[in-house]
Amino acid sequence: MSATSAEHATPLLLSPESVNPLVAAARPDPSAGTRARPQPRRLIVAITGATGVAYGVRLLQFMREMPEIESHLLISDAGVLNLHQELDMRRKEVEALADVSYNVRDVGASIASGSFQSDGMIVAPCSMKTLAAVANGLSDNLITRAADVVLKERRRLTLMVRETPFNLAHLRNMTSVTEMGGIIFPPLPGFYHRPKSINEMIDHTVGRVLDLYGITHTLTPRWAGMKADSKMDT
C-alpha cells in the first residue's frame, strides 16, 4: 500500500465487543422486542412472640391475593408458639402464605443486606424484646438485622408493638425507633366503623397499616364523616 492510500484508508475502530466478546454476550439485543417484567413490590413481614399473631397472618393472606406484592416472611421461635396458642396454626401453614420464608437464624440471607431492594418491613406483632433490639441496633437475629437494614436504607419500618401497660423502657425504646424513622403502630382497634366481628377489627387495623405503604385495599370502610343522627344530641 502506498503512503497516499494509507493516509486515506478508513481508520480501524475498536468496539468494546471486538476487544472483549463477553461484552457482546452481555449486551441486550435491541431486536428482541421484549420488555423486562416490572419487579413486584417486596414487603418483609415478621411475626414475633407478642400476642396478636392474627395481624401478621392476615397481612400475609392479603398479600397472597395481590400478585404485584412479593412477601418475605420471618417467624421467631416465640412467634411459632403463639401461632399454636392463638390460632392453632403450624409454622408451615403460615410459611405457605408467603412467597419467600427465612430461618430467623440465617443472618446471611438476602434481606440482611441493604442491596436487597424492598418497600419496607412490618413486624406484626412486635414484642418488647424485638422493639428493644431494634431501638438499640442489636442485630441478634435475622428479624432485627432486617429491621436495621430497612432503617439504615431509609425505607419504611412499622412495628405493631403489643404490650400493656407500657413501662418507661418501652416508651423510650419507641421514642428511639421513631427518631430513627420507624413507625410505632400499636394495633388498637377502632370502633367508629362499628365492627361486628373480631375479623372486622383485625381487617381495620391491617388496612391502616397497608395505607402506610400506599397499598390499595377494601379491607375496611373509609371514614365519611359523622352521621346526621349521631349529631342529634349535641
Residue type for position 203: D
Q: Is 225 annotated as a binding residue?
A: no
Q: Is 76 annotated as a binding residue?
A: yes
Q: Is 37 annotated as a binding residue?
A: no
Going by the DSSP 8-state scheme, the letter that residue 84 receives in this structure is: I
Q: Of 161, 187, 189, 188, whose CA–CA distance to 175 is shortest?
A: 161
Q: Is 128 annotated as a binding residue?
A: yes
Q: Is 130 annotated as a binding residue?
A: yes
CA dist 70 and 100 (Å) reads: 8
The stretches of the chain forming alpha helices (DSSP H) are 3-7, 16-19, 21-26, 53-64, 77-82, 91-95, 128-135, 142-152, 168-179, 198-212
CA dist 34 and 11 (Å) reads: 35
Whether 105 and 143 have beta carbons less than 8 Å apart is answered as: no
Q: Is 49 annotated as a binding residue?
A: yes
Q: Of 35, 230, 46, whose CA–CA distance to 143 is shortest?
A: 46
| Gyration radius of the chain over CA positions | 26
Q: Is 135 annotated as a binding residue?
A: no
Beta-bridge mates of residue 121: 44, 157
Helix, strand, coil: what percent of the chain each, to 5?
40, 15, 45
Binding-site residues for FMN, in ranges, read 49-51, 76, 127-130, 162
Which residues make up each annotated binding site? 49-51, 76, 127-130, 162, 192, 208
The annotated binding site for dimethylallyl phosphate is made up of: 192, 208
